[in-house]
Amino acid sequence: MVVLGPWCLGRNVDNLMKNTFGRGNAGGAPITAEPGVMGGEPVFAGTRVPVKTLFQHLEANCTLDEFLEWFPTVSRQSAVEVLLAAEQLTIQQARK
């Protein structure tokens, strides 16, 4: 199982990736990836909504509110945590 949660923010990318993979969904992490759920595709925890769907909708100029309306099983908190984690990873990668 793969999870990504708020506990990983602020760490360097190597530690982030090392500490992200192989963990259970401790602490209510917003992302999980299990072989039996959507073929292992990373999804929002407790749903079958792939995380990439959020980014695809944002790329298509949909608002976060529209995404949450269309995918009511995804909480605002989970979506925001994923966006914050993506922001941190982007910034850390840019500094390398």
Domains and CATH numbers, the chain: 2-94 (1.10.10.10)
At 51, list the tokens. Answer: 């995380």
35 C-beta neighbours (distance < 10 Å), count = 8
Among 80, 66, 72, 71, residue whose Cα is nearest residue 30: 80
Q: How far apart are CA 82 and CA 71, in angstroms?
A: 15
Alpha helix positions (H), the chain: 13-20, 51-59, 64-70, 76-94
49 C-beta neighbours (distance < 10 Å), count = 21
pTM: 0.71
pLDDT tens-digit profile, the chain (96 residues): 444 444 344 444 444 443 333 344 555 688 999 998 899 999 999 999 999 999 999 999 999 999 999 999 999 999 999 999 899 889 988 888
